[in-house]
Amino acid sequence: MDPIIYNKIITVGVYGSAIGLILIGLYAVLVKKHLTKIVIGLSIIDSGVHLLFIAVGFIKGGTAPIFSPKGIELVNGGAQMVDPVPQALVLTAIVIGFGVTAVALSLVIRLYRHHNTARIDHIKSLKW
Amino acid sequence: MKKAFIILLLVVVGWVLADTFSQITFGESRLGDVKQPETVGAYYLNNTVEKLSVANVITAIVVNYRGFDTLGEVTVLFLAASGLASILYRRKEKGEHDVMILKNSSQLLQTGAKLIFPAILVLGAYVFIHGHLTPGGGFQGGAIIASGFLLMFMAYKDYHVSHNVLTWVESVAGIVFVSVGIWGLISGATFLENVLGTGTLNDLISGGVIPLIYIAVGFKVAAELTGVLETLLNFKTEK
Amino acid sequence: MVISPVHYIALPLFAAFLMPLLAKVNRELVKIIPGVVLVYLSVVSVILMQQVVNTGQPIVETLAGWQAPWGINLVFSQFTGFLVSLMTFMATLIWVFSYRFKKVDNEPALKYYILFMMLVTGSVGVVLTGDIFNMFVFMEITAIASYSLTSFYRDRDGAEAGFKYLLIGSLASTFMLLAILLLYTQVGTLNMAMIAERMHTVPTGMKVTILILFVTGLGIEAEMFPLNGWAPDAYSQSPSPVGATFAALVVKAGVYSLIRVIFTLFDIQGAYQYLIVMGIITLVIAEFAAMKQTNLKRMLAYSSIGQMGFVLIAFGIGTKEAVFGALFLMFNHAVIKSLLFMSGSFFVYNSTSKEINGLSGIGKKFPYMGFLFSLGAFAIVGLPPFSGFWSKLYILIAAADESMLALVAIILMVSIVEIVYYFRVVAKLYFGKPTDEEVVHKPTFGGYFSMTVLAAVILVVGFYPDLITGFLHRAADTLLDKGAYISNVLGH
Amino acid sequence: MVFNVIFFSLLAIIILAAAIYAVVQKDLLYAVIATGVISLVLSIYFFIMQAPDVALTEAAIGIALTTIIFVITIRNTSRREDEIPVDKEPDRGDEK
């Protein structure tokens, strides 16, 4: 098996799992009735998007963009550093995603307290 | 019928994403020549060591080049914490008190927690103090400290972090972050500018203002996440 | 400390972080701080606008000392300056209105005022920033503040509206993140001016996909048709000062980001036709839905969505006159819709039922409020002596110049629908038989003050439109002049 | 090189399986644990793709804190997805 096939498999593996996560999350959000399951769907979509961010920034044979003594040695030895910008963006996106998930779950708790059920079809005014 | 429509929608979205991302080859460098930087990524790789003498390029980006993002980011977490408190706010009739919703834990967990908790705090502090040297920083260190407090919440049913201290730490850290920005503005440069000397690469006191900001972010994130856990955890009020 | 656009964001954040501490000192202080901050920012707006108008050059402020494409920068031009000043003035008036607001006083006021200030800062940040990911972060700040504010009241079904808004808002932010990522892979930078400059290098297939992702994501924030189901609930369930803020600020930021992406970043002709078509659909469906509403605040919410559809149509036409008309309509919509929300809220509080027919005869018992509401209703419909008339007229002229007669017909037909449902309410106010309830909730002095100021603005602009038309023409030219934006920001 | 291919495809299979399990599973506690597994595999992905900062963030926030706030929510609401609505008097809290 020559390396071209290997690269193809790895590419399909990474992009495939990222897009798969987004689709599975989207399916959960659109189909599922239980509020907690919908929030799980949202967090799965978030995970998929974050994986795409890093996959796009990755460079084959690159090293982490840190100029520690070892890092400098590698760079002088001709290694190329990975693109740092998507990683900085993902750092912010992960913490924003956590903030939104925390607010969503507190809304779920309050809805349950109010209506004694956490299912969309049982909460009448939340017509979809 | 609705499910069929959703499946169709998912297939279309999946196909569009797959087709778009197939044009972006995985693992191929899009940075262009790092010496004459055209793209933003190449510029940061090229200039971080000379201009800021910070080892961790990502910390330099998150705190200095795009420090405004992080300021917005910390506000998002601050809003999530106060939004959470306002959503779950309940006026307590007299006699009611907050009770932890977790049951008492086993002896093993309690003694283990007592041993590990200080170690987690030290690890969290280490991570955000060395933000500009090793991987990690304010967000990661704060989250580790919050998971340390989580362990104590789990172990001891009536373990409470005083809400007063959390609010103080959170506000003071936020004010430190913004005033470092304003300090740049006052000293004639621009907002959030690195006004301190940047020292030599790879030793603790280097990178000028960057470690200060990231330590403030670390304290703030730790206080906020512990606040969020505390709000969610001791929620059931019984007579 | 020289006055610069960063004050719009640094100061409110400093105040927001300070407020939890001040709450320990005394509760009253916490309610005053947003006012102080907003009044100061209004002064900053006047100074900066003067500077921009005199020099004709936008103020481009770099942050953290890095020049435009490498770091984040704020752009305070004629166009963004106009929007930011409009938002700051409206926010100050809304704060004055909500200062002693009955319904807000007994809830945890500290959280309300922090979230309100952050809602204003987020919207202003979206307009000011010159960096695409920074715009996403500010939109998240606005989003999280509006989720919590929508579900602020305990007794109403605010939590449902909040959850529905959060769900659709999260989908919007996912689309935006994907679009920003794809744009970064093609262009290698996040600075909007640099993106606009390098956009010609992007293959058309990829460019169309990115535009679709952007328009879907931002269309949700700008309440465009397919996914604006959250808006009527969010407007009606949230406290009415927040409803006014949504109408005056948050939706403006959503429309701004959509327009900035379509006008400055991308140069695809199809986008303009898309704007017109989606604008028409939003306008028609929202106006007809508004006619069917029985709840006053939901009716106002649908009318607000309709107005936004109208703004999108005007931007879609794309000529200099049309964009001028769109900006004029945004100005009018902010002023008039806030007045309607504020005065409307007092009708709703005084009548037991929220329904419109529960308000019969309240105009006689509450004459001044009835007068204000009718004035707002006449203005938004576009009757001659009021400011709403001019903006509708200019857009119709622009559409006629482009010989889009079908468009003119649709707009006039929808105006008739508007007249029907607004006059139905006004008639109910005055000619309905008065119910026996005593008027309980009187607005505070601040409430009267801000509503009177808004009414005055409507009348003054109605009689002397050229007070602001010259100014709006320059703002429209700044938006359309893509080359100037790029050269100003990148400095070459 | 062969090791890379096996490892990457293994990760892809595990993460997609965990995602499907999280969506399909009726008992929400197991679904939430599956979400933790997704974050874990994501953290490994980030580590392999030379992004240590992000791997640490995903580990600290994704696995530890997100999972625990989901568990707390389940503790406060219902655990089974197909729960029958409990008919005790809804807690109107401090509603007027």
User: Phi-psi bin for C188: left (phi > 0), alpha (psi -120 to 50), beta?
Assistant: left
User: For chain B, what is the mean pLDDT?
Assistant: 86
Q: Which chains touch C (3 or more CB pairs under 8 A)?
A: A, B, D
Residue D55 has pLDDT above 90, yes or no: yes
Range ranked top by mean pLDDT from B144-148, B185-189, C109-113: B144-148
> Nearest CA of chain D to the CA of A120: how many Å?
11
Instruction: List Cβ<8 Å contacts ≥24 apart for C108-111.
Output: C108/B85, C108/B86, C108/B89, C109/C27, C109/C30, C109/C31, C110/B82, C110/C19, C110/C20, C110/C23, C110/C27, C110/C30, C111/B82, C111/B83, C111/B85, C111/B86, C111/B89, C111/C148
Token pair of C138, please?
């500010």
In this predicted structure, what is the pLDDT of residue C389?
Answer: 87
In this predicted structure, what is the pLDDT of residue B96?
Answer: 60
Task: State the amino acid at position B203 in one-letter form.
Answer: D
User: For chain C, what is the mean pLDDT?
Assistant: 87
Nearest CA in chain D to B226: D65
In this predicted structure, what is the pLDDT of residue B123?
Answer: 93
Contact C6 B64 (CB under 8 A): no
Per the DSSP assignment, residues forming a β-bridge with C129 are C74
In this predicted structure, what is the pLDDT of residue B133?
Answer: 85
What CA–CA distance (Å, rounded) separates B127 from B2?
49
In this predicted structure, what is the pLDDT of residue D96?
Answer: 35
In this predicted structure, what is the pLDDT of residue C296?
Answer: 86
Q: Which residue, B205, B175, B204, B210, is CA-closest to B192?
A: B210
Residue C333: which pLDDT band, with cuts at 50, 70 and 90? very high
More confident residue, A41 or C158: A41
Whether domain A3-122 has CATH 3.40.50.450: no
Nearest CA in chain D to A82: D50
Residue C319 has pLDDT above 80, yes or no: yes
Three-state secondary structure call for residue C188:
coil
Residue B91: which pLDDT band, with cuts at 50, 70 and 90? low
Instruction: List Cβ<8 Å contacts ≥24 apart for C151-155.
Output: C151/A107, C151/A110, C151/B87, C151/C237, C152/B86, C152/C107, C152/C112, C152/C115, C152/C238, C152/C239, C152/C242, C153/C103, C153/C107, C153/C237, C153/C238, C153/C239, C154/C107, C154/D93, C154/D94, C154/D95, C155/D95, C155/D96
Token pair of B55, please?
């080892």
In this predicted structure, what is the pLDDT of residue A122?
Answer: 73
b/e code C175-202 from CB counts within 10 Å (16+ = b)? bbbbbbbbbbbbbbbbbbbbbbbbbeeb
Nearest CA in chain B to C212: B16
Residue C438 has pLDDT above 70, yes or no: no
What CA–CA distance (Å, rounded) separates C284 from C224?
12
On chain D, the residues whose CB falls within 8 A of the CB of C154 are 93-95
Contact D23 A27 (CB under 8 A): yes
pTM above 0.80, yes or no: yes
Token pair of C209, please?
């996909």
Q: Which of C109-113, C155-159, C278-282, C295-299 is predicted with the least confidence, judged by mean pLDDT?
A: C155-159
Residue A42: which pLDDT band, with cuts at 50, 70 and 90? very high
- The DSSP code sequence of A74-85 is HHHTTPPBPPHH
In this predicted structure, what is the pLDDT of residue D91?
Answer: 53
In this structure, what is the dihedral angle of CA atoms C141, C143, C148, C153, given to the nearest 10 degrees? 130
Residue B158 has pLDDT above 90, yes or no: no
What are the pLDDT digits (tens) for B189-206? 788 888 777 777 777 777
Q: Which of B25-34, C36-45, C52-61, C415-424 is predicted with the least confidence, judged by mean pLDDT?
A: B25-34
> Nearest CA of chain A to the CA of B207: how many Å?
13
More confident residue, C36 or C69: C36
Contact B200, B122 (CB under 8 A): no
Contact A13 D11 (CB under 8 A): yes
D62 touches chain A (CB under 8 A): yes
In this predicted structure, what is the pLDDT of residue A128?
Answer: 43
Residue C84 has pLDDT above 50, yes or no: yes
D17 touches chain A (CB under 8 A): no
Mutate to test the interface with A, among C148, C171, C177, C185 (most CBs of A within 10 A): C177
Residues 6+ apart with CB under 8 A from C145: B79, B83, C115, C116, C118, C119, C122
Q: Which of A16-25, C222-231, C372-381 is predicted with the least confidence, judged by mean pLDDT?
A: C222-231
Residue A75: which pLDDT band, with cuts at 50, 70 and 90? confident
What CA–CA distance (Å, rounded) separates B26 from B31?
13
What CA–CA distance (Å, rounded) separates C325 from A7?
54
Nearest CA in chain D to A29: D23
Contact B88, B231 (CB under 8 A): yes
Contact C64 B64 (CB under 8 A): yes
CA B59 to chain centroid, in Å, comes to 12
Residue D84 has pLDDT above 70, yes or no: no
What are the pLDDT digits (tens) for B55-89? 889 999 999 889 899 999 999 999 999 888 888 87
What CA–CA distance (Å, rounded) separates C168 from C58?
35
- Mean pLDDT, range A59-72, rounded to an integer: 85
Nearest to C206 among B20, B171, B175 (CB): B20
Contact B206, B59 (CB under 8 A): no
Contact B144 D60 (CB under 8 A): yes
Residues 6+ apart with CB under 8 A from C74: C5, C6, C59, C60, C61, C63, C128, C129, C130
Nearest to B6 among A31, A58, A65 (CB): A31
User: Which B-chain residues 98-157 have CB contacts (< 8 A) with chain C?
Assistant: none
Residue D95: which pLDDT band, with cuts at 50, 70 and 90? very low
On chain A, the residues whose CB falls within 8 A of the CB of B69 are 88, 92
What CA–CA distance (Å, rounded) separates D96 from D93?
9
Residues 6+ apart with CB under 8 A from B7: none
Q: Which residue, C143, C401, C384, C159, is CA-closest to C257?
A: C143
> Nearest CA of chain D to the CA of C153: how many Å?
9
C-alpha distance from residue C418 to each of C291, C334, C379, C380, C402 (Å): 8, 17, 11, 9, 25
Residue B188: which pLDDT band, with cuts at 50, 70 and 90? confident
Residue D94: which pLDDT band, with cuts at 50, 70 and 90? very low
What CA–CA distance (Å, rounded) separates C128 from B169?
30
What are the pLDDT digits (tens) for C220-240? 888 887 778 888 888 888 888
User: For chain A, what is the mean pLDDT?
Assistant: 88
Residue C12 has pLDDT above 90, yes or no: yes
- Mean pLDDT, range C49-77, rounded to an integer: 88
Residue B100: which pLDDT band, with cuts at 50, 70 and 90? low
Residue whose tokens read 């009267």: C448
Helix (H) or strand (E) holding C323: helix C320-350
Alpha helices in chain B (DSSP H): 2-22, 40-47, 57-60, 67-87, 107-129, 138-155, 163-186, 209-233
Nearest CA in chain D to C155: D95
Residue C120 has pLDDT above 50, yes or no: yes
In this predicted structure, what is the pLDDT of residue C467?
Answer: 80
What are the pLDDT digits (tens) for C160-214? 888 989 999 999 999 999 999 999 999 989 999 999 988 888 898 899 999 999 9
User: Which B-chain residues 162-221 have CB contacts (< 8 A) with chain D?
Assistant: none
Residue C469: which pLDDT band, with cuts at 50, 70 and 90? confident
What CA–CA distance (Å, rounded) separates C283 from C302?
9
Contact C189 B71 (CB under 8 A): no
Nearest CA in chain D to C156: D95
User: Phi-psi bin for B110: left (phi > 0), alpha (psi -120 to 50), beta?
Assistant: alpha
Mutate to test the interface with A, among B8, B11, B29, B198 (most CBs of A within 10 A): B29
Domain assignments of chain C as residue spans, ordered by start: 6-490
Q: What is the ipTM of this complex?
A: 0.92
- Mean pLDDT, range B150-171, rounded to an integer: 87
> Nearest CA of chain C to the CA of D44: how many Å?
21
Mutate to test the interface with D, among C107, C151, C154 (most CBs of D within 10 A): C154
Residue A14: which pLDDT band, with cuts at 50, 70 and 90? very high
On chain D, the residues whose CB falls within 8 A of the CB of A63 are 50
Domain assignments of chain A as residue spans, ordered by start: 3-122
Interface of D with B (CB under 8 A): 52-53, 55-57, 60-61, 64-65, 68-69, 72-73, 75-76, 93-94
Contact C4 B73 (CB under 8 A): no
What CA–CA distance (Å, rounded) separates B181 from B64?
10
Nearest to B233 among D60, D61, D72 (CB): D72
Task: State the amino acid at position B99 in one-letter form.
Answer: V
Three-state secondary structure call for residue C377:
helix
Q: Which residue, B168, B175, B124, is CA-closest to B147?
A: B124
Contact A56 C181 (CB under 8 A): yes
Q: Which chains touch B (3 or more CB pairs under 8 A)?
A: A, C, D
What CA–CA distance (Å, rounded) separates C65 from A59?
29
On chain A, the residues whose CB falls within 8 A of the CB of D92 are 114
Q: Say what percent of chain C tops pLDDT 90.
A: 36
